[in-house]
Structure 1
Amino acid sequence: MQVTELLAEGLKREYRVVLPAAELDAKANARLSELKDKVRLNGFRPGKVPVAHLKRMYGKSVLAEVIDQAVNEANTKIIEDNGFKLAMQPKVELPQDEAAVNEVIEGKADLSFTVNLEVLPAITLGDFKGITLDKPVLAVSDEEVEETVKRIAEANRPYAAKPDGTAENGDRVTLSFVGSIDGEVFEGGSGEDVPLVLGSNSFIPGFEEQLVGIKEDETRTVNVTFPEAYQAAHLAGKAAAFEVTAKMIESPTEMEIGDEFAKTLGMDSLEALKEQVKSRIAQEHNAQSRNKAKRRLLDALDGLHQFDVPPTLAQQEFDGIWGSVTAEMENQKKTFADEDTTEEAARADYQKIAERRVRLGLVLAEIGEKNNIQVTDDEVTRAVVERARQFPGQEQQVWEFYRKNAQALASLRAPIFEEKVVDYLLELATVNEVPVSREELYAEDEDEKAA
């Protein structure tokens, strides 16, 4: 086998490989000899079929198998001899001319092909102990707990029938409705026994206001226009008419927030409910706090590591980002001019974001490898179980999907690995906890919005 380097430019490599016909023939004969003891042919005793006869019958198919194996061996040798870490699978370009291919298959010519590689860059890791960052923190206040309990109570407020009255804001109206656009009933526009609290702004803008004053068993036509940014693109911006019937009208009743109310929610007491609410709010604050600290950590890592990224990985990342951006803009019927930019400028910005993401991914992977940070099977299993819980009634199907789909399983493993590396780095870095207000904790920073 002869290997000649044709290109060494940045992270791209190209090689020409020549496999002599004699070498391929020798490998094919060795393979045929192995088959001799396994093949059963009429007229020959087991193990006594001449290799020459087998070659006449199976020579071309065996040689094709040998060529495929030899190409893989050549790729492996190139990678191992040069100590490459690949960014992508090798791209092999075999002869396309039919006559040339036939000559190789018939053993009359050497096999010559090219191998194109994209390799990972050598990464020199920075000094993580030199990273200093602020982590915003927020303690849960009694006021937050009280407000949340009140919202829970409001969401669970009992209602009493109001058969002789008219619906007002705050009343709950049970509706049946059928929606149409240009006289045609549309999918998803109908409902039966749908409860709606007037004034809650749960429905399309303008819908609830037109039901104020409706009486039980009364039918009204409600005319509305779907918002331009409506999630169902085929309805966005369209005018629709709904034939609405009020089947029941109920008014809210007084409710005391105490132990009895807490017991309706499965808690032993109001104090126990407050403790659970406080714990949940604390989890939300801590998650937000960590997200901001992680963003600042990633910014610091990006500043410590500047290197070229594999072009194909960057392009794939860009394609994913750009596809999401353009789909969202189309759904919202926006243009780049509406965003005060141009398509060319937006492409350049998102290209930088794609390269940053790839670079940080490579850095995190290198840190994990150098420090033996691994994701255990138990951690992946817990992630699958958690994912299955998100689909009540379909847990078994979700479990089987991940069990049989290695790529889907990897999509669960990757974020676990990333979080473990982030935990490791936050332990090394100097992290200053800075008390902030709720508004500050949940405010979207300009750099976070851009990223």
Structure 2
Amino acid sequence: MQTVETVNEGLKRAYKLTIPAREIEARVASEIKRVAPQMKMPGFRPGKVPANLVRKMHGPALMQDALNAAVQQGVQSLLAEQQLRPAIQPAVELGEGYQPGGDAEVSIALEVLPQLPTPAIEGLALERLTVPIDEEAVEERLRKFADGQKSWDDAGDKAADTGDQVTMDFAGAVDGVAFEGGTGTDMAVEIGSGRLIPGFEDQLVGVVAGEAKQIAVTFPADYQATELAGKPATFDLQIKSVKTAGESQIDDTLAKNLGLESLEQLRGLVRGQVEQEGNGLTRTHMKRKLLDQLAAGHDFEVPPSMVEAEFGQIWSQLEHEAEHEADPAAARAEMEAERDDYRRIAERRVRLGLLLSEIGQANGVEVSSQEMNRLIAEAAQQYGPDDRQRFVQYIQQEPMAAAQLRAPLYEDKVVDFLFGCATITDREATRAELEAAIESEDGFATGTHLHDHADHDDNDGGHEHAGQDHEAQAAEPA
């Protein structure tokens, strides 16, 4: 097999492979020899079909299979011999002039991962904003639990007011025609809860039990049922009852209604939840500052194909969000005006992902088999019992899918390693201050596109995409 390099520009490479006809024919002959004993044909005893008849019957298919196998092996040999690490799957094209029985010329084009400089991780300095547990926030959550368990007393002939519960039958129509899901009975709603579409609950103020009333509303532009989004509708209501809220208590009874033993246990669980949320915000802020320092200290060329793929993900999400804005056209126009900014964000993400992966590989960061098994088991829970085993088998058989699943944990472990290398100073802040600090940063620009290079070596140099900045997703738009 002859190999000629035709392009070597930056991260772009291209090669021309020539696969001799004799190599393809040798594969065909070997395959005929393998399958002939298994062939059955009228007039011949099993396993005695002559090779020339096998070739006559199945020659074209065997030739195509042999050619495909030769091309695949040629590509893998090229990657190994040239020590290439593809950024994405190489583009392989058979020459137009190929004729069965002749030499095959194959063009291979790819982008390679850059040779990264030794990552500069010395001198990292981070500020850790810590949030003391806010007892007022704990009490506020306990109050919400209590409100959710409130009792309701029949109000008799009293007119409904905000905070009261109204039970009703309803029948909705758009342009006088009933729509799917627009009819129901005995629906109870607390006025002011915001459960129903805007304007609906406001028009329940003043109704009394036994009253029939028609109200008019307009579905929001981003309503989940797109056939109703933005359309005016009417609802014919039959008020069944009006009830007032009984006094809710934060006590042991509340805790027992929630399946716990005491108010003390409930309060402890709520305090733990508040503390965990604060710790999550602290980590998100620290991680963003860490990525900012890494981005500022490293600048190297990244594969355009990876940037384009990342930009495509960002743009698709923006388009989806624009469709749910009050004015989709204006949202899309704003996107277009900032297209270059989003492309720079995509490039930053890719660069940071490559950098984090390089740091992790150089310092022995890995996801253990036990951790991977736990990830698979957790992910399988989203499927029904009949599909879980098929999902597990799919992950075990598809390296790319396994890499997708592993990537967020791998990234977190690399970040934890870097936290351990950094000089960290603590400063106490309120939750509002910490949230404001996170919101003040450009969320899109803080994500990463992590690529686990360590897995490339186990996958013939194949490229494995990983997740974005999962740790910060709750606070940022991407």
- The answer, yes or no, to whether TM exceeds 0.5 is yes
How big is the shift at 1:226? Answer: 2.6
Within 2, Cα distance between the matches of 1:166 and 1:11? 74
Alpha-carbon contact 1:402-1:408 (below 8 Å) kept: no
Q: 1:124 aligns with which of 104, 109, 117?
A: 117
Question: How many residues get paired?
Answer: 440
Unaligned runs of 5+ in 1: none
Measured on the aligned residues, the alpha-carbon RMSD in Å equals: 2.7
Query: 2:32·2:55 contact (CA, 8 Å) conserved in 1?
Result: yes
Partner of 2:439: 445
- What residue is the counterpart of 1:363 in the other structure? 355
- What is the CA deviation profile of residues 338-381 of structure 1, one whole-angstrom value per residue up to 9, with x for unaligned ones? 699461x3211111111222222222222233333222344344
Structure 1 228/23 Cα, relative in aligned 2: closer, same or farther at 3 Å? closer
Distance 1:148 1:399, change over 3 A: same
Equivalent residue number for residue 374 of structure 1: 366
Deviates more, 1:365-374 or 1:423-432: 365-374
Task: For residue 163 of structure 1, report the CA deviation from its aligned partner.
Answer: 2.9
Judge which range, 282-291 or 35-44, deviates more: 35-44
For residues 205-228 of structure 1, the C-alpha deviation after alignment (integer angstroms, 9 at most, x for no partner) is 221111111112322111122333
Partner residue, 1:76: 76
Equivalent position to 1:324, from 313, 317, 328: 317
Structure 1 203/335 Cα, relative in aligned 2: closer, same or farther at 3 Å?
closer
Report the equivalent of 2:153. 160
When residues 349 and 398 of structure 1 are mapped into structure 2, their CA distance, relative to the original with a 3 A threshold, is farther
The answer to whether the 8 Å contact 1:159/1:251 transfers is yes
2:327 maps to which of 310, 329, 334: 334
Residue 258 (structure 2) aligned to one of 260, 265, 279: 265
Q: Name the CA distance, whole Å, in 2 between partners of 1:40 and 1:50.
A: 11
Report the CA distance between 1:270 and its aligned residue: 1.6
Taking the aligned partners of 2:380 and 2:36, their CA distance within structure 1 comes to 51
- CA 253–23 in structure 1, closer or farther in 2 if over 3 Å, else same: closer
Partner Cα separation in structure 2 for residue 395 and residue 281 of structure 1: 32
Residue of structure 2 in register with 1:303 after alignment: 296
Looking at structure 2, the residues matched to 383 and 55 of structure 1 have their Cα atoms a distance apart, in angstroms, of 49
One-letter amino acid of the counterpart of residue 347, structure 1: R
What is the match of residue 15 of structure 1? 15
Is 1:246 aligned with 2:239? yes
User: Deviation string for 1:63-104 (max 9, x for gaps)?
Assistant: 2222111111110111011111111122111134xxx44xx3
- Indicate the residue corresponding to 1:133 in structure 2: 126
State the alpha-carbon separation in 1 of the partners of residues 182 and 121 from structure 2: 55
Q: 2:385 aligns with which of 396, 400, 407?
A: 396
Percent of aligned pairs with the same residue?
Answer: 38
Residue ranges of structure 2 left out of the alignment (5+ in a row): 446-478
Per the normalisation by structure 2, the TM-score is 0.83
Distance 1:251 1:135, change over 3 A: same
Tell me the distance in 1 between the aligned counterparts of 2:236 and 2:218: 14
Equivalent AA in structure 2 for residue 448 of structure 1: D
Inter-partner Cα distance in structure 2 for 1:385 and 1:25: 46
Give the superposition deviation at 1:385: 4.7
Which one of the candidate residues 336, 350, 365 is aligned to 2:342?
350
Which moved further from structure 2: 236-245 or 131-140?
Answer: 236-245
Q: Distance in 1 between matches of 2:350 and 2:180?
A: 41
Deviations 1:163-217 (CA, angstroms, capped at 9, x unpaired): 3322111111123222222112233433333221112233222211111111123
Is the 1:384–1:399 Cα contact (8 Å) retained in structure 2?
Answer: no
Describe the superposition over 1:383-412 as per-residue Cα deviations: whole angstroms up to 9, x where unpaired. 4554566x6xx6425634632443665443
Q: Structure 1: which amino acid aligns with 2:391?
A: Y
Tell whether the 8 Å contact from 1:129 to 1:430 is kept in structure 2 after alignment: no
Counterpart residue type for residue 74 of structure 1: G
Q: Quick check: 1:431 aligned with 2:420?
A: no
